[in-house]
Amino acid sequence: MLSLENIVQQFNQWLSEHFSATTVLWIQLTAVVLFAITLFALLGLALVLMERKVAAYMQIRLGPNRVGPKGMFQTVADTVKLVFKESLTPDGADKFLFNLAPFIVMIAAMLVLAPIAFAKGIQIWDINIGVLYITSVSSIAVIGILMAGWSSGNKYSLLGAMRSGAQIVSYELSAGLSIISIVILTGSLSVQDIINSQQNGWWIFKGHIPIIISFVIFIIAITAETNRAPFDMAEAESELTAGFHTEYSGMKFALFFLAEYINIFIGCALAVTLFLGGWMPFHIGTWAAFNHIMDYIPSSIWFFGKTIVLIFGLMWFRWTFPRLRIDQLLNLEWKYLLPISMVNLLVVTLMAILGWHF
């Protein structure tokens, strides 16, 4: 059956039959770079179009409907516009840091992609501390955001950057505690070990109510960390124009825009890996016929399908809930989510020690 995992296996087999080990390594590294760049470009185009279509559906309107059939190529046209648009640097800006900031944000997003398993056997880097690596490297992006806000020489950009920094650092605590709950149950930080531990059932089902609580908190936290509504105080158009990227234009603005959607994908992909079995199919007990049909679906379809469903949920949140004030946003984390996460972590630890999970 034609699937991502079969294509990769056949490609590697063909390489090993025709080239030396050193040449094969360099070709594989080149293929990985091209895969990452292509995935970023396609995700950016697809998710922006999906965002506009979902928003239009929620608001009972058409959305993009001019470029291409039903507006399918609108994001391509916007990309071409940004490529040819002049990139301006304000006179009062720190030019070096101003130009460096979008690349830091983008590089951080690309690095986080490495340990994620897109399908069975499809992983750029199978590191034994994959989850720790993801949480650590993803924190680098906040440096680029603060750098962009400060170096712009604009008070609104600086306010947006400070809000974003406070927001990301705060909600990382709850996200981290939610991740630790899965690490406690699996006993490993490896992405592959976490996925393999869900062969007999996804953690969202076999982890009982504490894991459901961890999942809900994690989704709320990644919504806040990616500056998505109702937590988009860093980009509040009615107050701060556009927040930390107010002064950016052209491809530098496009890098910030693309990194936001890539981070949404990575956050949802991590949630799928931790709680929803990653690329594992959905099985029901001893239903052999049903389980066999589920196994027939390629693992890459399972992974991307579950990830897209979660992304749709985040977009649904954006067009449903009103924006919070900054004090409400921080109160939600420090007064509610963090204490609940700490108590929930103790319950998960007790559950793991006593073996109460399935």
122 forms bridges with which residues in the sheet?
119
Dihedral (CA of 235, 78, 73, 68) sign? positive
pLDDT given at position 273: 94
Q: H helices within 59-154, ranges in order?
A: 74-84, 95-112, 130-138, 141-151
pLDDT given at position 217: 96
Q: How far is CA 6 from the centre of its chain?
A: 25
3-class DSSP state for residue 118? strand
> What gap in Å lies between CA 194 and CA 137, rounded to an integer?
19
pLDDT given at position 35: 84
> What gap in Å lies between CA 108 and CA 215, rounded to an integer?
24
pLDDT given at position 193: 92
pLDDT in tens, the chain (358 residues): 456 677 777 887 888 888 888 888 888 888 888 888 888 889 889 999 999 999 999 888 988 888 888 889 999 999 899 888 888 888 888 899 999 999 999 899 888 988 999 888 788 888 889 899 998 898 888 899 899 989 988 888 888 888 888 888 899 999 999 999 999 999 999 999 999 998 888 999 988 899 999 999 999 999 988 888 788 876 666 666 677 888 888 888 888 888 889 999 999 999 999 999 999 998 887 788 888 888 888 888 999 999 999 999 999 988 888 888 888 888 999 999 999 999 999 999 998 888 876 6
Q: Encoding tokens for residue 122? A: 């499809």
Contacts 24+ apart (CB under 8 A), 300-303: 300/3, 300/4, 300/5, 300/118, 300/119, 300/122, 301/3, 302/277, 303/117, 303/118, 303/119, 303/269, 303/272, 303/278, 303/279
Residues 6+ apart with CB under 8 A from 286: none
DSSP-based helix, strand, coil % in the chain, nearest 5: 70, 0, 25
Nearest C-alpha neighbor of 220 from the set 261, 186, 268: 268
Q: Encoding tokens for residue 229? A: 């509504």
Radius of gyration in angstroms for the set of CA atoms belonging to the chain, rounded to a whole number: 21
pLDDT given at position 357: 66
> What gap in Å lies between CA 64 and CA 143, rounded to an integer?
34
The domain locations on the chain are 86-354
Contacts 24+ apart (CB under 8 A), 334-337: 334/170, 337/171, 337/174, 337/217, 337/220, 337/221
Q: Encoding tokens for residue 124? A: 């750029």
> What gap in Å lies between CA 178 and CA 173, rounded to an integer?
9
> What gap in Å lies between CA 351 and CA 358, rounded to an integer?
10
Question: Do the beta carbons of residue 148 and residue 141 sit within 8 Å?
Answer: no
Nearest C-alpha neighbor of 166 from the set 342, 338, 327, 337: 327
Nearest C-alpha neighbor of 211 from the set 201, 196, 222: 201
- Tell me 205's DSSP state: H
Question: Do the beta carbons of residue 324 and residue 190 sit within 8 Å?
Answer: no
To the nearest 10 degrees (0 to 180), the angle between helices 21-58 and 4-18 is 160
> What gap in Å lies between CA 333 and CA 75, rounded to an integer?
35
pLDDT given at position 237: 63
Residues 6+ apart with CB under 8 A from 232: 323
pLDDT given at position 184: 93
pLDDT given at position 189: 92
Question: Do the beta carbons of residue 105 and residue 137 sit within 8 Å?
Answer: no
Q: Encoding tokens for residue 214? A: 């961890």
